A and B are shown apart, each in its own frame.
Chain A
Amino acid sequence: MVRLGVVGLGKMGLSHYAMINAHPDVKVEAICDSTGYVLDVLSKYTGVRTYTDFDVMLRDIELDAIIIATPSRSHGRMVEAALNENLHVFCEKPFCLDIAEGEKLARIATEKTLVNQVGYHNRFVGAFQEVKRLLDAEAIGTVTHVLAEAYGPVVLKPKGSTWRTQRTEGGGCLYDYAAHPINLVNWFLGAPQNVGGSVLNKIFSRDTEDEVFSTLYYDDGKSAQISVNWSDESYRKMTTKVTLWGTRGRIYADRQECQVYIRDDLAVPAGYQRGWNVRYTTDLTEAVWFYLRGEEYSAQLDYFVRCIEARANDNVNSFEEAVMTDRVMAMMIADAERRPPVTSGIAPRQAPGKKFGLLFGGRKAVS
């Protein structure tokens, strides 16, 4: 039995708690949140042991592992305290907004051979895992370009403010949404050398960006583009997708399916053919012990538990890899702030009417 604690009971924390609590090899010893409300309700109706102070919980309770799902700003301190107690740590994304701090935590976890994982659940989506398998098998030859996108309806009007809409807390479209496609690109292509053309624009939010665009450059000439908007109501829920162009074919994948076009017979993987191939989530997804909101969420927690049991440290989504994603995001922020980019010298067009100005006047770059 893995003795585990959960810290932070927001949307992610609560769902992690429900899933891990149902895991046959795990015993949730205690939960912790800074606000008492949800804690009191859970304690009253389920009898779980609760804490409002993280340090008191660590001191009081014997644990093997911890899930940290608080806003990112507090990750650094909590992860370090947990590692110092020799706990295996699963931490929500984005990992750590301070790169140096993130690197230090990755180092401590490695030195202490503790299992360390960050919640980039897309790496457990069957269709994205299939993309990785296909790339490793060189099914589309050498990749030349990747387009990684995420769209969804989070901020649809100028209203409301929670930690999610504060970049300093780890919220905003970049940290909340764009982190996912960036993490996927890092998985598929590795770390980029440079970023350019980064646009972090507000649409409705007062304190953070709502859309993110950027180009990632690699030494060998590869490139990737990130296109993300969390103010897009035409999507029912968050949708992440990637398209990869290679010398011998093309792959498109989202959570539901993986569409592959293979140009020739040189390296066709088993089960595939020249021309179009489609694999659906029903074929690609492995069953999980408990389903709440998508197999990938259950699968990543199961993986964490199995790594602890096997004392394995070959983590998918290790701290080190999550720091890579944090670093790319930091590069994008720096790039977006560096103005002006190459200019045409043409004077900006006058806004024809008040309405036009109103509509687009709010879309200034985040400074």
Chain B
Amino acid sequence: MERLLFGDNQFFGVNHMSEEKARTQMMRFQELAAVIDVLDNAYDEGVTSFMCTTHDRIAMVCDHMRSNPQRYKDFQFLPCMPYAHKYANAVTEDGMVGALKRFLPEEGIVNAALRGGMSLARKDIEGITTLLVDAEMKMFAGLNTPVIFLQNVVVDLLLGLDFNAAFRIFADHIKSRYDAEPGFITMNMPKLLDALEEVGIENPIVCSNINKIGFRMCGGFEAYERALNEKKFRAIAMSVFASGAVPAREAIEWVCKQPNIQAIVFGASSKTNIRNTKSLVEEFWRIN
């Protein structure tokens, strides 16, 4: 895994500070060319891993990368699934089971229908989960996806429900079918580590907010510190700037001093910001 990963919140109008800023970004990145432009900037700066939601628009990014294999030969996608709003809206329209049916894949219709239909009938989560994962992964066919993440809304829902078996099903499927590492995004890192340990997922990749002011680090700052010091897992820090509440230099300096952090994921819309973050990370991780 690269030490610096590029995130995609800026492309989809996700901004935890301001609706106005979010909308400006949505306007700016309406055209795919603007997204590719920023990805090119990152890639040319040596930030070659893109941690992205399985949003419909990412499929277009995938098409672009596939059609320029030489230009992007080192480019890596780290898909984060599912894009939760898609499912939430479907549940509103079709109800819970109806929504599930809607997202079961068309690929290999007979087989999928069997697997899906039987699974739905038997309430067999393994069948449903693997089908949904495969549906989400379709857009990445032929591309390099070394780590595949389960999104925080789903991880934390399962975690709250004590539905830990699902983590294991996801992890096994990602390893066996995609020859990739499973990753988990969460807002409740200490609690998730216990759950993953319980179902025997060793040395997991876990991405969570890790920032100097403790913003959205649920379970508490101390619990996070303890986990980083004592638990065997590969931590990815997100929201290191706490949505802009911590100045860049101070934020990176602090994060780079924490133990056991394998990578930092960050979002940026300009070449300057990408370069600045990259050079700060190089500066502080070299010192350590």
| In the assembled complex, B247 has its CB within 8 A of some CB on chain A | no
A256 touches which one: B15, B93, B165 (CB < 8 A)? B15
Bound: A153/B242 CA distance, A = 28
| In the assembled complex, A303 has its CB within 8 A of some CB on chain B | no
Interface set, chain A 278-303, CB cutoff 8 A to B: 280-283, 287-293, 295
Residues of B within 8 A of A (CB-CB), count: 47
A237 touches which one: B16, B85, B243 (CB < 8 A)? B85
Question: Which chain B residues border A11 with CB–CB below 8 Å?
Answer: 88, 91-92
| In the assembled complex, A365 has its CB within 8 A of some CB on chain B | no
Inter-chain contact B157/A15, CB cutoff 8 Å = yes
| In the assembled complex, B116 has its CB within 8 A of some CB on chain A | no
| In the assembled complex, A352 has its CB within 8 A of some CB on chain B | no
Q: Pick out which of these stretches binds chain A: B57-65, B69-77, B133-141, B211-219.
A: B211-219
Interface set, chain A 141-199, CB cutoff 8 A to B: 153-154, 159-160, 162, 164
Inter-chain contact B96/A37, CB cutoff 8 Å = yes
How many whole Å from A254's CB to the nearest CB in chain B? 5
Q: Is the interface of B mostly helix, strand, loop or mixed?
A: helix
Tally inter-chain residue pairs, CB-CB below 8 A: 114
Given A236-B85, A282-B242, A290-B191, residue A22 in contact with residue B159 (CB < 8 A): yes
Inter-chain contact B218/A288, CB cutoff 8 Å = yes
How many whole Å from A357's CB to the nearest CB in chain B? 27
Inter-chain contact B95/A162, CB cutoff 8 Å = yes
How many whole Å from B278's CB to the nearest CB in chain A? 24
| In the assembled complex, A18 has its CB within 8 A of some CB on chain B | yes
| In the assembled complex, B97 has its CB within 8 A of some CB on chain A | yes
Per-position contact with A for B1-36: 1 when CB-CB < 8 Å, else 0? 000000000001111111100100010000000000
Given A289-B219, A291-B216, residue A21 in contact with residue B160 (CB < 8 A): yes
A290 touches which one: B14, B26, B123, B218 (CB < 8 A)? B218
Bound: A22/B192 CA distance, A = 11
Question: Which chain A residues border B22 with CB–CB below 8 Å?
Answer: 236
Question: Which chain A residues border B166 with CB–CB below 8 Å?
Answer: 45
How many whole Å from B89's CB to the nearest CB in chain A? 7
B18 touches which one: A42, A237, A257 (CB < 8 A)? A257
Bound: A293/B155 CA distance, A = 11
Question: Which chain A residues border B219 with CB–CB below 8 Å?
Answer: 289-290
Closest A residue to B156 by beta carbon equals A292
Question: Which chain A residues border B114 with CB–CB below 8 Å?
Answer: none
How many whole Å from A257's CB to the nearest CB in chain B? 6
Per-position contact with A for B80-96: 1 when CB-CB < 8 Å, else 0? 00000100110111111
| In the assembled complex, A83 has its CB within 8 A of some CB on chain B | no
Question: Which chain A residues border B14 with CB–CB below 8 Å?
Answer: 236
Question: Which chain A residues border B230 with CB–CB below 8 Å?
Answer: none
Bound: A162/B91 CA distance, A = 9
B161 touches which one: A10, A42, A288, A295 (CB < 8 A)? A42
How many whole Å from B2's CB to the nearest CB in chain A? 27
| In the assembled complex, A215 has its CB within 8 A of some CB on chain B | no
How many whole Å from A138's CB to the nearest CB in chain B? 27
Question: Which chain A residues border B123 with CB–CB below 8 Å?
Answer: 37, 40-41, 44
Interface set, chain A 34-57, CB cutoff 8 A to B: 37-38, 40-42, 44-46, 48
Bound: A290/B157 CA distance, A = 10
| In the assembled complex, A239 has its CB within 8 A of some CB on chain B | yes
Given A18-B160, A287-B220, residue A162 in contact with residue B92 (CB < 8 A): yes
A287 touches which one: B157, B214, B244 (CB < 8 A)? B214
Question: Which chain B residues border A254 with CB–CB below 8 Å?
Answer: 19
Given A18-B157, A237-B85, residue A257 in contact with residue B17 (CB < 8 A): yes
| In the assembled complex, A14 has its CB within 8 A of some CB on chain B | yes
Given A236-B85, A237-B85, A282-B213, residue A290 in contact with residue B13 (CB < 8 A): no
Inter-chain contact A162/B94, CB cutoff 8 Å = yes
A292 touches which one: B15, B18, B19, B153 (CB < 8 A)? B153
Inter-chain contact A41/B92, CB cutoff 8 Å = no
Inter-chain contact A236/B13, CB cutoff 8 Å = yes
A46 touches which one: B15, B91, B162, B215 (CB < 8 A)? B162
Per-position contact with A for B104-146: 1 when CB-CB < 8 Å, else 0? 0000000000000000000101000000000000000000000
How many whole Å from B81's CB to the nearest CB in chain A? 17
Question: Which chain A residues border B88 with CB–CB below 8 Å?
Answer: 11
Given A162-B95, A256-B18, residue A22 in contact with residue B191 (CB < 8 A): yes
Bound: A11/B91 CA distance, A = 8
Inter-chain contact B187/A283, CB cutoff 8 Å = no
Closest B residue to A36 by beta carbon equals B123
How many whole Å from A119's CB to the nearest CB in chain B? 16
Given A37-B123, A280-B243, residue A287 in contact with residue B17 (CB < 8 A): no
| In the assembled complex, A124 has its CB within 8 A of some CB on chain B | no
Bound: A184/B166 CA distance, A = 38
Known: A162-B94, A287-B214. 6 other contacts (CB 8 A): A22-B159, A22-B160, A236-B26, A255-B19, A289-B218, A290-B191
The 8 closest A-B pairs by CB, nearest first: A18-B160, A160-B93, A291-B187, A282-B245, A291-B218, A22-B160, A46-B162, A41-B123
Interface residues of B (CB under 8 A from A): 12-19, 22, 26, 85, 88-89, 91-97, 123, 125, 153, 156-157, 159-163, 165-166, 187-188, 191, 213-220, 242-245
